[in-house]
A and B are shown apart, each in its own frame.
Chain A
Amino acid sequence: MKTHVLFSSILCMALLLGAGKALALDIPPGGDALGHQLVASQSSVIAQLTSNDGTVMGFTTAVPLTGQVPTQFRLAHDTYTATERLVPGNHYLLFLSMDAAGALQLATSAYSIVAVDLQEAASYRTAIANYQQTWRDPQSFKRVALAQLDASVPYLRYSAMADLAYRGLFTADDGALLARLAASSTASQPEVRKLALGQIGGLRLVAYAEQLGAVLGNAAETTSIRLAALDGLRFMDRTDVIQRQAASVGDSPSPKLKARMLEALEPQPQ
C-alpha cells in the first residue's frame, strides 16, 4: 500500500512537471507502426480511458501486453494528445516509457495511442509476441508480417506493411501481393495502398505499370493515392504510362498533382 501511495505521488509530481508540454517529434519512417513503437516503449497495454479532463488522462489496465504497467495510471496530455478525440469508456493500445522523473509517459506522444476494440486484444497479443520473437531476424520477421497483412485489425495491417516496406524486406517475388494491396478494390486503408504503390515502383515491377497508370488516371482516387501511383511509375521510369494519363491529371483540381507530373516528365537532374 505504501509503495502504491508513493508510486502515485511520484506520478502526480511528474504529471505536474510535465503537464502541458508541447514537444513536436520527428520520428523515423514508419515510426508510428508496431515495430518502432515496441522498440520505443518499455511497456504496452490495452487500457480503458476512465477520465479525460484535457490535461490528464486516467486509465485502467484491461490487457497488459509487455512490460510492467500499474492497474490504474494517469498520463499527462501534451499539445498533440490533447487534440485527439479520446473518449472515456473506450479502450486504447498504449505504448509507454518512463520519463526522466520516472513517470509513465507515452513513448512518442500521440503516435503511441491506438484506438482499439477490446475484442481485438488476442490479435494484438499474438502480433506483439510474433514481433518480439522475430524482429531481429528479417526473414523470420517477414514471414509473420506477411501473414499479418491479412489481419482483421487495421493498425496491424498497416504496421505489417510499414515495417516490411521501411525495412526494405519486399522483393520482386512479392509483386502479386503488392498489386493486390495497391488495388482500389481491396479494403486496404489508404496508407497501406500508398506504401504498396511505392513498393511496386521501387522494386521496378514493370508488369504492374498499367495498374499504377489506372490509379494515376482515376479521378475518383484522392490526390495522395494518385501521387503514390505517379511516384511508383516514376521509380520504374515508365514515363510513357505517365504520359498517357496526362489528360486525366490535367482535369484534376490539384496543382500539386499536375506539378509532380510535369516534374516526372522532365529529365532527372544528376
Chain B
Amino acid sequence: MKAHSSSRPTTRKWAVGLALAAIPLFGFDRGCVTQPQTDILVTSPSVNVQGYIGRYDDNTLEWQENMAGWARMRVNGGAFMAWDQTDANNVWQQSAVPLPLGVNVLDGETWRSTPNGVVSGNIDDFILERKNDLVANGSQPVFLDWSAAGLDAELKAIATGTLNGPLTAAQQNAFVANVKAGVANFFTNAYAGTSVTLASAPGTGVHTVKFIVGDSCSLFGYSPGDYKNTNKTQTSHVLIGTFRCVLVDRLVSTTPAELTDTLAMRVEDVATAIGRTTAHEVGHSLGLTAEGETRLHGCGGSHNCEAYDDANPSDRFDVGHHIMDPGGSSKLYARIGQSNPNTRAKKTPYFERYGKSYLKLIHP
C-alpha cells in the first residue's frame, strides 16, 4: 500500500477548485460516507465505515462520478487509520473504526492518482455518538383520540376560513374526515421503521393523543417528556383550536397556500400541520429531544437545538422541517410541508437522522 503523506488541508477542495478555475482541472474530490448513516446514535464500540470518492464539477458542484482511490479516517482528531483502497465498485471501507462512549467526530481524507498528479479530497466531519444507556423497549402503540366535543367545528372553520367559499356541508364533512385520516397517515409515515404504531383503542401500555379544542391560541400541543420512554401509558394533547386560530390568521399570508387552493390541497396542508404536532408530542413522550450532554443534546424545552448545530457537524434543526424542531422557530410553511413561503414545493416534515436513530434503538 502506498503511504500517501498528506496532512489535512485547511482549505477545502471546493474552494481550491473554484479559485484555480483558470487551470485545467478534473473537478475536485470529496469523500462521502454511505454506511453507516452520519449524525446518528450507535451502541456498538466500533463500526465499519464505507463510502465513495466522488469527483465533482468545479463550477456546478454537481457530482460527476465515483473514482478509484484511497481513503482513511480518524476519530476525534486522533491518529488516522490505515489507508484503504477502493474495491471494484469504487467503495472504500474502514473496518472496525473504534468509537469511545459519547459524541465522536469522524473525518478523513482521500487521494487518487491522475495523469496530472495526485488529487486529494476530504471526508467532512460527521458525528457518530455512542451510547450505552439505550435498550430496546418493545413496541409503543399510539391511539389517536378524536372524541372530544367541538373538534369537527374547529376543523371546518379552518377550511372555510382559508378557502374561497362557500363550502357545502358535504365538502366540510369530507374535509374533516380526510384531515383525520391524513393525520394518521402522516403519523404512520413519520414513525416508519420503528415499532411506534397506531392502535385502535386506548389501554394499558398505549399512548393516547387527545385532540382537544383548547382555550388559547398559543399552544399547539403538550406532552410529558420521558427520556427512554419509561412510561408507555401516557397522554399527549394536541389543541385543534390553536390550529384554527393560527391557520386562519396566517396560512395565506405567510405560506404558499392561497384562498383559491383546492379542498384537497388544504386537507394536505392541515393534516400535515396537525400530523407533525401529533408526531412531535408523541416524540416528547418517547424521550425526544432530551436535554443534556448525556442525553440527546436538546435545548429550549427538549427540542432539536440550533445552537448545537452551530457548534458541531450536526444537522438536527431545520426551521420546522424536522419534527422535533422547537415550535417558536418552526415556520408555518415548514409545518404544512412546504419548502418555502412563496411557491408550493413539497418538503414533508420528518425525524432527522439523529432523532430517528434514537427511536429505532428504543423501539426497533
A interface with B by C-beta (< 8 Å): 21-33, 36-37, 39-40, 79-80, 83, 107-111, 166-168, 191, 198, 202, 204, 222-224, 231, 234-235, 243, 246-251, 253-256, 258-259, 261-262, 265, 268-270
Closest Cβ of chain B to A136, distance in Å, is 11
Known: A108-B219, A250-B14. A80 touches B302 (CB 8 A): yes
Known: A28-B242, A108-B218, A235-B340. A255 touches B254 (CB 8 A): no
Q: Which of B129-137, B141-149, B156-164, B323-331 contacts A (4 or more CB under 8 A)?
A: B323-331
Q: Which of B60, B225, B254, B320 contacts A24 (CB 8 A)?
A: B225
Q: Number of B residues contacting the other chain (C-beta, 8 Å)?
A: 69
Known: A24-B302, A31-B218. A256 touches B309 (CB 8 A): yes
Q: Is the CB of A29 within 8 A of B18?
A: no
Closest Cβ of chain B to A255, distance in Å, is 5
Q: Which of A27, A235, A269 contacts B341 (CB 8 A)?
A: A235
Q: Is the CB of A28 within 8 A of B246?
A: yes
Q: Is the CB of A249 within 8 A of B14?
A: yes
Q: Which of B45-53, B110-118, B188-196, B277-285 contacts A (4 or more CB under 8 A)?
A: B277-285
Q: Is the CB of B291 within 8 A of A28?
A: no
Q: Is the CB of A270 within 8 A of B345?
A: yes
Q: How far is the CA of A248 from the CA of B216 in the complex (A)?
A: 45
Q: Is the CB of A166 within 8 A of B254?
A: yes
User: Is B224 located at the chain interface by the 8 A CB criterion?
Assistant: yes
Q: Which of A27, A198, A261 contacts B328 (CB 8 A)?
A: A27
Q: Which residues of B contact A261 (CB under 8 A)?
A: 61
Q: Is the CB of B301 within 8 A of A110?
A: yes
User: Is B19 located at the chain interface by the 8 A CB criterion?
Assistant: yes
Q: Is the CB of B216 within 8 A of A40?
A: yes
Q: Is the CB of B224 within 8 A of A22?
A: yes
Q: Is the CB of B222 within 8 A of A25?
A: yes
Closest Cβ of chain B to A65, distance in Å, is 17
B interface with A by C-beta (< 8 Å): 11-15, 17-19, 38-39, 59-61, 124-126, 216-226, 242, 246, 249-250, 253-254, 277, 280-281, 284, 291, 300-303, 306-307, 309-310, 313-315, 317, 319-320, 326-332, 335, 339-347
Give the 6 A-B residue pairs with the shortest CB-CB distance, closest first.
Answer: A250-B14, A168-B253, A40-B218, A24-B284, A27-B327, A256-B315
Known: A83-B291, A249-B14. A25 touches B310 (CB 8 A): no
Known: A28-B242, A39-B216, A250-B14. A109 touches B301 (CB 8 A): yes
Q: Is the CB of A25 within 8 A of B301?
A: yes
Q: Is the CB of B15 within 8 A of A250?
A: yes
Known: A223-B309, A235-B341, A254-B313. A111 touches B301 (CB 8 A): yes
- Residue contacts A-B, CB under 8 angstroms, 12 given: A21-B224, A23-B224, A24-B222, A28-B219, A28-B327, A31-B327, A36-B218, A111-B328, A250-B13, A253-B313, A256-B314, A268-B339
Q: Is the CB of A29 within 8 A of B332?
A: yes
Q: Which of A111, A247, A253 contacts B18 (CB 8 A)?
A: A247
Q: How far is the CA of A202 from the CA of B125 in the complex (A)?
A: 32
**In chain A, what residue has the closest Cβ to B242?**
A28
Q: How far is the CA of A111 from the CA of B218 in the complex (A)?
A: 11
Q: Which residues of B contact A246 (CB under 8 A)?
A: 14, 18, 61
Closest Cβ of chain B to A50, distance in Å, is 25
Q: How far is the CA of A243 from the CA of B58 in the complex (A)?
A: 11
Q: Which of A26, A167, A223, A243 contacts B327 (CB 8 A)?
A: A26
**In chain A, what residue has the closest Cβ to B221?**
A26
Q: Is the CB of B313 within 8 A of A23?
A: no
Closest Cβ of chain B to A114, distance in Å, is 13
Known: A251-B11, A255-B315, A256-B309. A32 touches B345 (CB 8 A): no
Known: A25-B222, A26-B277. A167 touches B253 (CB 8 A): yes
Scoring B13, B38, B284, B327 by chain A CB atoms within 10 A of each residue's CB, the highest score goes to B327
Q: Is the CB of B327 within 8 A of A253?
A: no
Known: A108-B218, A248-B15, A251-B12. A32 touches B309 (CB 8 A): no
Q: Is the CB of B15 within 8 A of A167?
A: no
Given A24-B301, A246-B61, 4 additional A-B pairs, CB 8 A: A37-B218, A167-B250, A168-B253, A224-B317
Scoring B17, B38, B254, B303 by chain A CB atoms within 10 A of each residue's CB, the highest score goes to B254
Q: How far is the CA of A198 from the CA of B340 in the complex (A)?
A: 10
Q: Which residues of B contact A110 (CB under 8 A)?
A: 300-301
Q: How far is the CA of A244 from the CA of B224 in the complex (A)?
A: 46
Closest Cβ of chain B to A154, distance in Å, is 16
Q: Which residues of A contact B61 (CB under 8 A)?
A: 243, 246, 250, 261-262, 265
Closest Cβ of chain A to B124, distance in Å, is 5
Q: Is the CB of B216 within 8 A of A234?
A: no
Q: How far is the CA of A241 from the CA of B222 in the complex (A)?
A: 41
Q: Is the CB of B313 within 8 A of A255?
A: yes
Known: A246-B18, A251-B15, A270-B344. A26 touches B125 (CB 8 A): no
Q: Is the CB of A26 within 8 A of B220?
A: yes
